[in-house]
């Protein structure tokens, strides 16, 4: 495998949907809210790792049979050409004909302006795609202005048949005022993505059949700081524990708030 083929394989691997955990936390409340944003131009999900952002999106796409593609970003995508290659590769999972000419132009010694290439990509999306969703995952890795300007241009010129989803650990440095003004954006942040007592009861008592009293659920929720990933690990501990009550009492007395399971 030559260097070019190796790089292409790396990019393709970044465009695969996330692998779901063995025992998935089904966030029906989150999925229902996502359904309500199906017509929005942009869906923005901002929360630290472990808040079920990607898992909920993947579950929604599968349940509703929505065509979707993924692009998991990292620090190397701050290079405009590398980002554009990844963007095109992710869209080729929806239609393999998209962006072939643009790939060739990127290899040319006289590359056209990035804005010109993006404009051509938008036109191809409009002509060659059915209604679809594109997820830009881990957007917090994008920090340099040239690539952020590319994303801004892409959003501003996005055709109606493609909806963009951005997930990030922190606020994104994009000007989204126009989308908010025209009600074209759905925004979900950590307070909304955090677990509720009702979700915890459904997960522990109905899905995992642990039969934990309702009053003890609040201790678990507080101990895990309502973070879905911590709740999943807590559930594993509770399933394996010979004395569930002892673990819950330990949670009640632990005031560190750091989830030392």
> What pLDDT tens digit does each residue of the chain (261 aa) get?
555 677 788 889 999 988 776 667 789 999 999 999 999 999 999 999 989 999 999 999 999 999 999 999 999 999 999 999 999 999 999 999 999 999 888 887 787 888 999 999 999 999 999 999 999 999 999 999 999 999 999 999 999 999 999 999 999 999 999 999 999 999 999 999 999 999 999 999 988 898 898 888 988 998 888 888 888 888 888 888 777 777 777 776 664 545 455
The vertex-107 CA angle with 117 and 103, nearest 5°, equals 50
Name beta bridge partners: 162. 132
Q: Which domains does the chain have, with CATH numbers?
A: 3-193 (3.40.50.300), 197-253 (no CATH)
Element at 146 (helix H, strand E): helix 145-156
Q: Which tokens hold the place of 119? A: 């404009």
Handedness of CA 76, 82, 84, 90 (dihedral sign): negative
CA 60 – CA 28 distance, rounded (Å): 9
- Threshold 0.85, pTM exceeds: yes
Edge-first strand listing for the sheet containing 68-72? 68-72, 132-137, 162-168, 42-46, 185-189
């Amino acid at each position: 495998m030559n260097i070019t083929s190796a790089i292409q394989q790396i990019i393709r691997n970044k465009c695969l949907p996330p692998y779901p955990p063995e025992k998935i936390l089904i966030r029906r409340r989150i999925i229902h809210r996502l359904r309500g944003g199906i017509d929005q131009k942009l869906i923005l999900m901002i929360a630290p790792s472990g808040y079920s952002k990607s898992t909920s999106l993947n579950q929604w796409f599968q349940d509703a049979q929505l065509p979707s593609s993924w692009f998991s970003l990292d620090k190397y995508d701050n290079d405009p050409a590398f980002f554009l290659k990844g963007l095109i590769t992710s869209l080729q999972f929806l239609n393999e004909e998209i962006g072939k000419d643009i790939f060739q132009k990127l290899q040319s010694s006289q590359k056209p302006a990035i804005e010109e290439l993006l404009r051509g990509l938008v036109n191809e999306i409009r002509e060659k795609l059915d209604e679809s969703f594109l997820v830009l995952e881990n957007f917090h890795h994008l920090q340099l202005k040239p690539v952020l300007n590319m994303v801004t241009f892409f959003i501003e010129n996005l055709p109606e048949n493609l909806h963009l989803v951005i997930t990030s650990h922190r606020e994104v440095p994009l000007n989204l005022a126009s989308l908010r003004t025209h009600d074209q954006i759905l925004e979900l942040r950590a307070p909304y993505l955090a677990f509720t007592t009702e979700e915890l009861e459904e997960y522990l008592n109905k899905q995992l059949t642990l039969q934990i009293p309702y009053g003890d659920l609040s201790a678990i929720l507080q101990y895990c700081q309502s973070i879905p990933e911590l709740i999943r690990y807590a559930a594993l501990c509770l399933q394996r524990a010979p004395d569930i009550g002892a673990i819950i009492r330990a949670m009640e007395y632990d005031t560190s708030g750091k989830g030392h399971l």
